[in-house]
Amino acid sequence: MFIDRIEISVKAGDGGNGAVTFHREKYVPAGGPDGGDGGRGGNIVFRVDEGANTLLAFRYHRKFAAGRGEDGKGDKMHGKNGQDVVILVPPGTLLRDPASGKILFDMSRDREFIAAKGGRGGWGNRHFATPTRQIPRFAKSGTKGEEKNILLELKMIADVGLIGFPNVGKSSLLSRISKARPKIADYHFTTLSPNLGVVEIGEGRGFVCADIPGLIEGASEGLGLGHDFLRHTDRCRLLLHVIDLSGCEGRDPVEDIGVIDRELSRYSPELATHPQIIVANKADAVEGDENWERVKKKAEELRRPVIRVSAATGEGLPELIRLAAAELEKLPPVKEYEPEITPETEAAKKALESADEKQTFVRRENGIYFVEGKWLSNFMDQLNLNDYDQLNRFQQVLEKNGVIDMLREAGVRDGDTVEIYGFSFDFYY
């Protein structure tokens, strides 16, 4: 099975919590705070796997989670960082945001991309010691790791793409000019996935050629298999437009050129401008030169090179390879996509999310006033409410952020019970 588009979810590791410890040593009766910091959470890292050409590995494994950072320890010992998770993808895989469809990164070269960053480790209590607060009994909790869904879309990297109707001999052609061994049979849609082959042109040089299956009239609208595989032509620098010169299946080779051109244009106007060489295949099965003359005239109108070949006998194949190599030398390198979500747009998105996180809600249920908000949940995780200093800080934060005023507006009176994420107290202000 060939899979080239799939959505996965990733979760970076949370940071470890800082430690609340105090130095203990013989003959040192008043050892100070020595709580170590928590470790960093593991990252989610994407890396190119040169040996892969499908996303099949993600069919049953779509959730990835990195390791959590360890909590800090006494004697200023730093917690161990969480283990990164490395996800291997085929070259040419685009990482997209599923909601907007925008590109996060193009995995075209042998490089890495951190898709989700692990949370920071929290500070141990040794960081909070001051001349007036010499025994801090609190520390900071680690921050949460990033969590997101990512759409993986494979656009194969090939210099040359073979396009054309089913059964015109694309797979046979690929098998003759390269060492690829695709399935070949005398019926439509024999090829169910793109096949890659390396074409050698001597002196250690060559180019990658891909057989793009399933193009028929209406492919751009989802008919046949072409809708699924047209995306693999996007990166091709040169297209070999293969036609059946013999017309043995009752189709007109000249009309076939126009049909495939229209499907490319409907799918992507940019794709329709890619350089093409018209390859008139099955020359061994042709009687007379009528079709060949018509194809040459059509190629002249379109200003495209044309060559007559036979994948069965090998006629014209050396000339085809030389022609394709010469055309590739004139063309720019394989297309790479620029990220559409930049650090600046990510910062703006996080600013909006931060504004949402700062919202506070008050509700009354069974005579108890509940205060909720994401920022408040994170704040409560970092408090040690058994410590007098932290209790004072808790009160100051509620006043500063308007929580006390919101409670009054909600109708709370002195003596009423207020609960904030498991911590209950009687309201007196």
356 part of a folded domain: yes
CA angle 107, 112, 116 (to 5 degrees): 100
213 with 312, same domain: the answer is: yes
335 part of a folded domain: no
From 154, 187, 202, give the residue that closes a domain: 154
Cβ contacts of 222 within 8 Å, gap of 6 or more = none
Sign of CA dihedral 381, 385, 386, 390: positive
169 part of a folded domain: yes
CA angle 156, 160, 163 (to 5 degrees): 90
131 part of a folded domain: yes
288 with 361, same domain: the answer is: no
339 part of a folded domain: no
From 138, 154, 170, give the residue that closes a domain: 154
Q: Residue 411 sits in a domain of what CATH number? A: 3.30.300.350
Q: Which run of H or E residues covers position 291?
A: helix 290-302
Q: Residue 110 sits in a domain of what CATH number? A: 2.70.210.12
User: Rounded to a whole number, what is the distance in angstroms from the first to the last CA of the chain?
Assistant: 68
Q: How far is CA 372 from CA 387, 398, 408, 423, in A?
A: 23, 12, 15, 12
85 with 173, same domain: the answer is: no
174 with 46, same domain: the answer is: no
336 part of a folded domain: no
317 with 361, same domain: the answer is: no
Using CA atoms, how far apart are residues 110 and 383, in angstroms rounded to an integer?
45
172 with 316, same domain: the answer is: yes
Domain hosting 174: range is 160-329
196 with 145, same domain: the answer is: no
Enumerate long-range contacts of 406-413, CB under 8 Å, 24 or more apart: 406/360, 406/362, 406/371, 407/362, 407/369, 407/371, 409/362, 410/362, 410/363, 410/364, 410/369, 411/364, 412/369
Cβ contacts of 276 within 8 Å, gap of 6 or more = 238, 239, 240, 241, 302, 304
Cβ contacts of 51 within 8 Å, gap of 6 or more = none
189 with 114, same domain: the answer is: no
398 with 363, same domain: the answer is: yes
From 298, 329, 360, give the residue that closes a domain: 329
* 309 closest CA partner among 251, 243, 253: 243
Q: Residue 249 sits in a domain of what CATH number? A: 3.40.50.300
99: its two tokens: 């909601």
2 with 148, same domain: the answer is: yes
Using CA atoms, how far apart are residues 248 and 7, in angstroms rounded to an integer?
42
Using CA atoms, how far apart are residues 224 and 213, in angstroms rounded to an integer?
10
Whole-prediction pTM value? 0.72
Count of structural domains within the chain = 3
Chain centre to alpha carbon of residue 319: 40
Other beta carbons within 10 Å of 308: 20
Other beta carbons within 10 Å of 76: 16
337 part of a folded domain: no
- From first to last of its 429 residues, the chain has per-residue pLDDT tens of 457 789 999 999 999 999 989 988 888 777 889 999 999 999 999 999 987 878 888 988 999 999 999 999 999 999 999 999 999 998 889 999 998 889 999 998 778 899 999 999 999 989 988 887 788 888 888 989 999 999 999 887 788 989 888 888 888 899 888 876 655 545 444 445 677 788 888 777 888 888 887 665 554 455 444 556 667 777 889 999 999 998 877 789 999 999 888 888 887 888 888 899 999 999 988 877 889 999 999 999 999 999 999 998 999 999 999 999 999 999 888 888 888 776 655 554 555 455 556 788 999 999 999 999 888 887 887 777 777 777 888 888 888 888 999 999 999 998 899 999 888 888 887
150 with 166, same domain: the answer is: no
199 with 308, same domain: the answer is: yes
177 part of a folded domain: yes
